[in-house]
Amino acid sequence: MTTAPRTVSVCGMNPEQLFSAASAVALIGWAFLVLAPLRRDWAVLGARIFAAILCGGYLCFLVAGLTGGNAPPADANFTTLAGVRLLLSTPQALLAGWVHYLAFDLFIGAWEAESAPAARLPHWVLLPCLALTFLAGPVGLLLFLIIKAARQR
């Protein structure tokens, strides 16, 4: 008889509550970037601080997802799509994966906001890049890189 993986709470919160909290933290960081023209240096620093908070959360969620009876199945791995699906098969591992996306996308958004003035990108041009980076990470980064390259020609 197999038993279902135990749902571990972190900071007294279950994975669903932690998902909501992590998403709220990311939104605060993105709000800093939208307001960047007011004080770009402070906005980028604020976004990076919230990205660092997410990175710390990721570490906690990763440890919680790999310990205490929550380890992924033995055949979970990074070498096949089925293996990756198994890696993310517990709520804790899925939460860690989500926070991974939130942290990296926010960090890239902060880099875009920091790099925009040197590339002579007005903030109104940066905003669609930030929106796409928030919604579809690599697509927003690609748009930013294309616009940046076009502006530097």
- 45: which 2 tokens? 């620093």
- b/e for 17-39, b at 16 or more Cβ within 10 A? ebbeebeebbeebbebbbebeee
All residues at 6 or more sequence positions from 13 whose CB lies less than 8 Å from its CB, including other chains = 21
- pLDDT, tens digit, for every residue of 105-134? 999 999 999 999 999 999 999 999 999 999
Number of H helices, E strands in the chain: 5, 0
The model's pTM is 0.88
SS3 for 151? helix
